[in-house]
Amino acid sequence: MEVFIVSLLNGLVYGMLLFMLASGLTLILSMMGVLNFAHASAYMLGAYFAYTISLYVGFWPALIIAPILCGFVGAAIEMWGLRRVHRNGHIAELLFTFGLALIIEKGVQMGWGLLPVPYRVPALLDFPLFSIYGTNFPAYRAFMLLISGMMFGAIWLGLTRTRIGLVIQAALTHPEMVGALGHNVPRIFTLVFAAGTALAGLAGVIGGNYQVTEPAMAFTMGPIVFVVVVFGGLGSLTGCFIASILMGLIQTFAVVFDVSLADLLAKIGFIVTAKTPLAEVLTVTLPRIGALLPFLMMVLILVFRPRGLMGTRDT
């Protein structure tokens, strides 16, 4: 039971972190059709910016400044890069963002080095908040839940209660029509791209010290974020939210339940030995394939339900 509750909390924290990354990518992909490979790079930049800023002025100002810097980087990429490349079609865009992700990774390696940087949890939050069955739950994880929950609320309010939010929702499905009604679609694209990048940056600020801030962190996080977006469905933030939490829980639970198919078969009286056919497959434990599960789910959903959980159109 204690394993279940602690894993549930950890899964929620990881899921909300995924949502911070995936929500921006969902909006960008749904509205602009841009499969932005550099999205997770903004997550990495957020962590590195926050690390450097926190060396001078501490963590709390970095929590505000780093995402804003990431937002400016996003706006610059959209206005001076993507908008030009967009005229040459989606393949060009895809290659552009892929190249950008590599450039940012190399840039980070040149600027901060190949090894992880000592980006630490702020001292103010570095204590166990409570203890369940003898396992401590760090206060910082609760803080991550709080920040990501507040962000979720802010996005929801922004999209449903403001005029610009309505314009963004409309542009998710009919960007041309939104333009023909007099709304400046290129400016909305820039705004959404910058906001999405800033959110990814914010995820980096609070996730960089929860995980490890290193040059490979973007390429570790990138694929799983794509899985969330495809699984949740294009054009649906609710789908994205559900998919994020689901992936967070799956990945967390897969690590802690050390069981294999052979263990399950043993419970119904069938003992797997070295001579049993497919014994190698049957004895593989869940933690060993845990990292594969989300990708397996993505492949299955693309085959059987291409529009994802709650998507408004096919991926």
Q: Which residues bind another protein (CB under 8 A)?
A: 163, 166-167, 169-170, 172-174, 176-186, 312
Using the minimum distance from each CB to another protein, give the nearer residue, 124 or 177: 177
Q: SS3 of 130, please?
A: strand
The distance of closest approach from Cβ of residue 165 to another protein in the complex, given in angstroms and rounded to an integer, is 10
The distance of closest approach from Cβ of residue 10 to another protein in the complex, given in angstroms and rounded to an integer, is 33
Using the minimum distance from each CB to another protein, give the nearer residue, 170 or 249: 170
Using the minimum distance from each CB to another protein, give the nearer residue, 18 or 188: 188
Which residues, 6+ apart, have CB-to-CB distance to 95 below 8 Å? none
Per-residue tokens: 313: 């159109």
Using the minimum distance from each CB to another protein, give the nearer residue, 92 or 139: 92
CB 295 within 8 Å of CB 230: no
The distance of closest approach from Cβ of residue 62 to another protein in the complex, given in angstroms and rounded to an integer, is 35
Using the minimum distance from each CB to another protein, give the nearer residue, 180 or 289: 180
The distance of closest approach from Cβ of residue 153 to another protein in the complex, given in angstroms and rounded to an integer, is 19
∠ CA(212), CA(213), CA(215), 5° rounding?
120
CB atoms within 10 A of CB 9: 17
- Rounded CA separation 173/151 (Å): 23
The distance of closest approach from Cβ of residue 30 to another protein in the complex, given in angstroms and rounded to an integer, is 12
Using the minimum distance from each CB to another protein, give the nearer residue, 39 or 307: 307
* H runs (alpha helix) in the chain: 2-32, 39-57, 59-77, 83-86, 90-112, 139-161, 163-173, 175-180, 185-208, 217-232, 237-256, 261-267, 279-282, 286-289, 293-304
The distance of closest approach from Cβ of residue 310 to another protein in the complex, given in angstroms and rounded to an integer, is 11
Which residues, 6+ apart, have CB-to-CB distance to 191 below 8 Å? 164
The distance of closest approach from Cβ of residue 176 to another protein in the complex, given in angstroms and rounded to an integer, is 6
The distance of closest approach from Cβ of residue 150 to another protein in the complex, given in angstroms and rounded to an integer, is 24
Torsion of Cα atoms, 272 then 276 then 282 then 285, to 10°: 60
Using the minimum distance from each CB to another protein, give the nearer residue, 136 or 184: 184
Locus of tokens 């967070």: 248
- Rounded CA separation 246/249 (Å): 5
Using the minimum distance from each CB to another protein, give the nearer residue, 172 or 217: 172
